[in-house]
Amino acid sequence: MTPLVHLQSLGLIDYKEAWDYQEQLFKGTIDEKIRIRNGETELKTKNYLLFCEHPHVYTLGKSGSEDNLLLSDQGLEEKEAQFYKINRGGDITYHGPGQLVVYPIFDLDQFFTDIHKYMRFLEEAVILTLATFGIKGGRVEGLTGVWIDFDTDHPRKICAMGVKSSRWVTMHGIGFNVNSDLSYFSNIIPCGIDDKTVTSMQHELGQKVSMEDVAAVLKDKLADQFHYDYAETTI
């Protein structure tokens, strides 16, 4: 049976508020899986896909180093940015207005139980979305995410990824630079990689891009990759 994904557009939302909401869905899905396993219910778990933007914020994954944040508390205040240590994989990254953030809360038992494959499918959906807008994206061996000029000595990262999973339920996900203010990346060592740069669709194309158009394409590319149906829902 084809999985169903409940798609929600959260708009511009505070990072902590979105994180708490993810945790609610994530823990609820895990609890439901336990009830199903114990024979307490015959209901299937639900899958969610959250699209949003955040005010300026830096997040540090559980395997990252706080040394990769190059701002003091005062510097964060001056930049009107927040900072959180969070429970995903990966190092430090930036989220802000103009970046499309996507959080899949998927029960991978309904798809496939392979985190490596899951990450590659997320990357491929972004690569196909970029191609729709005339941008060639790809992968850099040994590094997660999507890159421009990926086959040269000077690749530029356009999409960062970091996830958490438990009992094959996922959370966190994609930070896709559409119209991002790239100057904010100068305040960190992005993903702990100090010899590569970042970019955005706006920078590559020389003009702003409709966030709604990019989101619409990415929704379809994700559905194509994971072979699911989706329904637009509200909180």
Report the catalytic residues. Answer: 191
What is the strand order of the sheet 82-85 is part of?
A: 82-85, 57-60, 92-95
Contact of 146 with 157, CB cutoff 8 Å: yes
The half-sphere exposure of 157 on its side-chain side, counting CA atoms within 13 A, is 26
Residue type, 181: D
* Residue 230, H or E segment: strand 229-232
> What's the CA gap between 6 and 50, in Å, rounded?
8
**Beta strand 4-12 pairing with 229-232:** parallel
Residue type, 3: P
**Beta strand 156-166 pairing with 197-198:** parallel
**Beta strand 156-166 pairing with 146-148:** antiparallel
> What's the CA gap between 120 and 108, in Å, rounded?
14
Tokens coding 67: 């040394």
* Residue 15, H or E segment: helix 15-37
Beta-bridged to residue 59, according to DSSP, are: 84, 93
